[in-house]
Structure 1
């Protein structure tokens, strides 16, 4: 049987510690819907109200990323969906020494590990999806996508 060939998840020969903006999507293992309370309905006015205990842990750890990487990483936008998280992350490595530079891999590994440890079991897919944000237009399109993602889910349930 021929299975579709999975595309490589990362850009070839790209340095993921390069200063810039990245759009990241982290999914739960087996697409388990563990970040929202059962039957939760998203409200733009109260986005955290729909989060389960696991979702609240993820939210807390997202807010800690900037403290952990003091000045090198900024999480400028995110949304926690029932079975995945979207985020826009800016890297600004002031230090040019390779061993001192923070890269996306390290940030995601730390975040996933910390959330899984607090939840008490591994909850993540092994990989994640990334997109290097190339310009302001790209950034604004992704920003809108993150804003609209929970509202699309809400519409699906209403139909």
Structure 2
């Protein structure tokens, strides 16, 4: 999908006084600290997850198990960031209700407007911010255990979010996420990435 500033622009002003715990569809992008490429590499337009990337994928898929009000739609893990669509519902949903994960999950090899959401001192329960914070915390803890690097930040402090307005917008975002590995060198996160030599990893 060709870069579209109406979908992919990330510097606009987020909605003031919007309740991000209310039911809705949200497009989020979560980047690694200093844009370091920790999660694998792109080969032949496919994302090949390394051990750290697989831990992140497992953590993402566990989100609806921990928070029954959450449904996962389209998502993908890139070398230094994750794109995903999160649906917050009124009622708990059945287990394994991962709309997009089973359709277009990242290969294992063998938005209208998105802006940083700065962390707040108090996060509203079941809000988008609390969902992202829980995911970041669990994956950081697990990866730091694997790497024997306690208290080292894995993710940058903020994240990017966009409210998906309608079905047409949802399809645009889904296609953008699905096509991300194909357009990696055109991705805004590619130019600012820090490549990690695989030999620097302890596995």
What's the counterpart of residue 72 of structure 2?
75
* Residues 1-159 of structure 1 mapped to structure 2, 5 A cutoff: 10-37=14-41, 40-41=42-43, 50-70=48-68, 72-94=69-91, 102-120=126-144, 121-153=152-184
Deviation string 1:88-118 (CA, Å, 9 cap, x unpaired) is 00000339xxxx9611011100000001001
**1:9 deviation in Å?**
6.4
The normalised TM-score by structure 1 is 0.79
Structure 2 CA distance for partners of 1:42 and 1:90, relative to 1, 3 Å: farther
What's the counterpart of residue 112 of structure 2?
none
CA RMSD of aligned residues (A): 2.6
What's the counterpart of residue 3 of structure 1?
none
How many residue pairs end up in the alignment?
Answer: 141
Q: From the two aligned structures, give the one with the greater helix fraction.
A: 1
Give the 3-state SS of the residue equivalent to 2:130 in structure 1: helix
**Structure 1 gaps, min length 5:** 1-5
**Structure 2 gaps, min length 5:** 1-9, 93-123, 145-151, 188-203
CA distance in 2, matches of 1:7, 1:151: 24
CA distance in 1, matches of 2:186, 2:11: 31
CA distance in 2, matches of 1:9, 1:102: 23
The normalised TM-score by structure 2 is 0.63
CA distance in 2, matches of 1:142, 1:84: 16
